[in-house]
A and B are shown apart, each in its own frame.
Chain A
């Protein structure tokens, strides 16, 4: 029962927090660039504005084009509800593990890429093609991270991993460090952040995600934007859950632990947002075909992590 409540709470909180996180990232970036920039709450206004606007649908768009935003939003939201962000006792925790999580996000991307192809424009195709290319490279890297975790914890279920890391002293391991870097690189790619993609650009040839959703407007666009924000939060919570589960409510003492969990989660999100903003400010976007090398690197790091773990276990 508590599981269900916690899940509902997380659904609500992630949805509520998602625009804020994106807003903070944008705001900090603006500040770091020396601009004043819109306030952290701007994304809420944007979403509402989009919702109220009239929706324009291309003439030859099919039913798929109109169904996709809802499905993408639902899938991403579900993913967000699976990752233990402030508590491990989630109802859905037992019905999808790390691999399933990746796959769920994958289905969202699959549908979105299809939508990009639906209208039959050059840019839509370009966006879908590149988005899928990046994803195809990011997923194996993600799996090697998973593999490292499975080696260490002998589990792929997120709550269990978190509880394990909290209860046992795994110490600082090279493997974990490598895995963390690898996962971060994946996260950057999956969320279309610099250096892989630039969420702010509207210069046609550099767009990836933006090009894919180019034809969307109004409420559809609002849903897709929201899904994108949810995805960012999900990845931040995922990194936190896997590498910094401190303060997570493992269901020992309900009341107080829950509050602690919430506080620590918000704290982590904030830190993550700031780190992301700093990183993006420091980096320049790379050419599309350098992305392969970037993600190939993260794949190698992941494998290295697994190998190091073997060695350390073999000793």
Chain B
């Protein structure tokens, strides 16, 4: 019942795409497509939420499409429902935002057909119940997003971004295809039911893990497979970037969870080691990359890498704990990861939409040319501040809750019997803490440079607030960030059954937590109440202001900035994004990116301006991707010679082939 509703909604989205394709140039089509996408997303969201009512009972549906003997299997269980909810919650927000935003796209007709298709494909991935349909939806998702990236095809960098993206996407799909091949085994039944029952040898299971990490990891943006992400996400229109960064990466997480926790039997403890290590590295590298950026959207994309890393740490812990039979820990880590999935989706979409609003208002993405927007775009500024605080994991907002869970899980990591895990866990914890702290640094930089201070360009100085339809989704998401942070128990109501569903048999963490307080294990060990913190801060701040009003003089005077008496006329004298990040660059950048600063300071009396040049190298690109590209080019050049032989030589080739085959036959007889 629900599943058929979902099916029709997805179909409707596809139809909208078709409409956008044929009638893209008419004004009305725009409203129909975005309005329709909004409606469909809301329907899907509702269906997903209702699905939680079913509990563990999964609903299935078989369609007469796909492979003739396999048919298309659909299945709606708690895991699907959770991610379906996520996708369409943000799909709705993005559609509403895009409704107005996309009007001003250079070529809206290039967005209309693929935007609804993109949402449809992502939703379909979560309910696909056989390998063929899954990969079809998965690849369709890549295809749609690739074309969406190419919608800005006339901008110089887009082509490269799109190319890197589509090749990485195909690599991932191929890896997943191989993984499913191993999962299905020689029986060759590709329905997930058959795969669930099919048992794999530990070696093969390990191979599947690696393949899945490549396949889903490349889509999610795990280091070192993240290179496409900071290129492609910013290139797309902002409401699409929000979906790509906030949601599509989560679909990849869905694939990871679906395969590792559902399809692929019992885990091995070293899986946890691998996944956690990848997560920790991604978290730290991601935020370091981000700190080095001054393109707002690219910076946000790199933060996606960081947050995916945090999620992966949780998943790794869960895998290891499950392998070692530490069910409570496993469930806590899994809940932490899935909770962070939701949180990241919320604030990352919020921030990308905010970036979109800024781009709409100023036409700028380069932070060095922004500033002082808090005066010109007050409404956007408030929403963006909440998003920035949330992604920096500050209480009482939502980002902190999931990171707190992750930390709680990490602090329980001593329980692991394996020494490798014992030692890895605290290190991962320290890296996570460092990443979280650096994220705060990064968003002080972002908010301070973009919204505070003084405008660094005319565009920023002349910016105006964006329209209401663009603000509504911003505030909806911001409100959710606060709500989820203050009252996370509502989300737990969804997540605890889900954890129980994915880790059958064992106890589920957070049993003792109430609507007010979160208690992972028992009150003695640790507890947190976002609501209390929120209220307490409000009360104490109120007290403080009352006291001050009572005691202090209310006299206030506006005066020029003091700044140690420096008369600084030019806004260029402000701290820029680059200068703000300079200490971090000096401490970490020199190691991670071989960052070099060259200062050209003119002699006294020399009129020319001083120059500071920073050059950085991307280690991943240098050590992993450049060599591959070189290898392919080399082979291509070598083989290309065959195009230019003389007929006689071609004949000789034929002759050689013939003689070779004849010899083969002679030998075989």
Q: Do A and B bind each other?
A: yes
- On whether the beta carbons of A58 and B561 are closer than 8 Å, the reply is yes
Whose C-beta in chain B lies nearest to the C-beta of A302? Answer: B430
- Of A90-98, A169-177, A236-244, A265-273, the segment with at least 4 beta carbons within 8 Å of chain B is A90-98
* 8 pairs, CB–CB < 8 Å, chain A vs chain B: A71-B537, A73-B540, A78-B533, A121-B574, A125-B574, A144-B426, A160-B524, A222-B552
Given contacts A117-B444, A120-B372, contact A126 B562 (CB under 8 A): no
Interface residues on B, range: 35 or more
Does B28 lie at the interface of the complex (its beta carbon under 8 Å from any beta carbon of A)? no
- On whether the beta carbons of A54 and B557 are closer than 8 Å, the reply is yes
A78 to B583, CA, bound (A): 31
Q: A59-B559, A116-B448, A307-B426 are in contact. List 10 more A-B contacts (CB 8 A).
A: A99-B408, A123-B563, A132-B444, A133-B583, A133-B587, A139-B433, A139-B436, A144-B429, A154-B525, A156-B525
Contact of A114 among B448, B527, B559, B584 (CB under 8 A): B448
- On whether the beta carbons of A150 and B564 are closer than 8 Å, the reply is no
Contact of A103 among B395, B444, B556, B558 (CB under 8 A): B395
- On whether the beta carbons of A129 and B575 are closer than 8 Å, the reply is yes
Contact of B557 among A52, A57, A109, A223 (CB under 8 A): A57
- On whether the beta carbons of B574 and A120 are closer than 8 Å, the reply is yes
Minimum CB–CB distance from A205 to chain B (whole Å) comes to 10
Given contacts A117-B444, A144-B430, contact A100 B395 (CB under 8 A): yes
* B→A interface (CB under 8 Å): 371-372, 374-375, 385, 389, 392-395, 400, 404, 407-408, 410-412, 414, 422-423, 426-427, 429-431, 433-434, 436-438, 440-441, 443-445, 447-449, 452-454, 516-517, 523-529, 532-533, 536-538, 540-541, 543-545, 548, 551-553, 555-564, 566, 568, 571, 573-575, 579-584, 586-587
Whose C-beta in chain A lies nearest to the C-beta of B588? Answer: A292
Does A235 lie at the interface of the complex (its beta carbon under 8 Å from any beta carbon of B)? no
A167 to B556, CA, bound (A): 54
The main secondary structure of chain B at its interface with chain A is helix
- On whether the beta carbons of B452 and A117 are closer than 8 Å, the reply is yes
Residue from A106, A151, A303 with most neighbouring chain B CB atoms (10 Å): A106
Contact of B411 among A74, A104, A133, A147 (CB under 8 A): A147
Please indicate the chain A residues that have their CB under 8 angstroms from the CB of B374 in the complex: 62-64, 118
Please provide the 7 A-B residue pairs with the shortest distance between their CB atoms, ordered closest to farther: A125-B575, A117-B448, A120-B453, A95-B529, A74-B541, A136-B437, A74-B540
The main secondary structure of chain A at its interface with chain B is helix
Minimum CB–CB distance from B253 to chain A (whole Å) comes to 24
Minimum CB–CB distance from B557 to chain A (whole Å) comes to 5
Contact of B529 among A56, A74, A78, A94 (CB under 8 A): A94
A202 to B434, CA, bound (A): 30
A313 to B548, CA, bound (A): 52
Given contacts A155-B524, A289-B587, contact A100 B533 (CB under 8 A): yes
Contact of B426 among A11, A52, A132, A303 (CB under 8 A): A303
A124 to B453, CA, bound (A): 10
- Of A36-44, A212-220, A254-262, the segment with at least 4 beta carbons within 8 Å of chain B is A212-220
Please indicate the chain A residues that have their CB under 8 angstroms from the CB of B404 in the complex: 99-100, 103
Minimum CB–CB distance from B521 to chain A (whole Å) comes to 9
Does A206 lie at the interface of the complex (its beta carbon under 8 Å from any beta carbon of B)? no
- On whether the beta carbons of A160 and B525 are closer than 8 Å, the reply is yes
Please indicate the chain B residues that have their CB under 8 angstroms from the CB of A251 in the complex: none
Please indicate the chain A residues that have their CB under 8 angstroms from the CB of B517 in the complex: 94-95
Interface size on A, residues (CB 8 A): 89
Please indicate the chain A residues that have their CB under 8 angstroms from the CB of B584 in the complex: 133, 136
- On whether the beta carbons of A99 and B556 are closer than 8 Å, the reply is no
Minimum CB–CB distance from B44 to chain A (whole Å) comes to 35
- On whether the beta carbons of A96 and B555 are closer than 8 Å, the reply is no
Does A281 lie at the interface of the complex (its beta carbon under 8 Å from any beta carbon of B)? no
Does A165 lie at the interface of the complex (its beta carbon under 8 Å from any beta carbon of B)? no
- On whether the beta carbons of A147 and B558 are closer than 8 Å, the reply is no
Within 8 A of B (CB), among A124-152: 124-126, 128-130, 132-133, 135-140, 142-144, 146-147, 150-151
Given contacts A74-B544, A114-B452, A128-B580, contact A218 B552 (CB under 8 A): yes
Within 8 A of B (CB), among A289-315: 289, 292, 299, 302-303, 306-307, 310, 313
Does A279 lie at the interface of the complex (its beta carbon under 8 Å from any beta carbon of B)? no
A125 to B407, CA, bound (A): 31
- On whether the beta carbons of A96 and B540 are closer than 8 Å, the reply is no
A189 to B426, CA, bound (A): 22
- On whether the beta carbons of B544 and A307 are closer than 8 Å, the reply is no
